[in-house]
Amino acid sequence: MATMTSQALTLRALERLGVKASDQPASAEDTILAQEQFDAAFAEYRYIGLCPFESSAIPEWAQDGLMQVVASRCSPFFGLGENPALEDLGRKKLAAQVSQTGFGVPVRAVYY
């Protein structure tokens, strides 16, 4: 799997919720709702450093965590009830991956 766009990720989140069948297109309303939830979550998580990439090129390591976050935020709109544990799991996956990927400023070690 390669990078994914935010639109593709939101459609996968709708599939994960069971709102959209994999062989059927999502309705425009569902797509807009999922994209709004993605945009809000992405902005929030980017601000705190959990999404150090562009929304047009979501790396493979971040896709599952972000899908869980979007699915969690969309679920109340489809009558599936709130599921904060799902968003928490997605956030923890992103945090674990970011801590291992080495994003940030490189530091040169000097040994004496």
Task: Give pTM, 2 decimals.
Answer: 0.81
Task: Report residue 110 CA to chain centroid gap.
Answer: 38
The string of pLDDT tens digits covering residues 11-61 is 999 998 888 877 788 889 999 999 999 999 999 999 998 988 898 999 999
Q: Would the CA dihedral through 72, 73, 74, 75 be positive or negative? A: positive
Nearest to 69 by CA among 50, 91, 47: 91
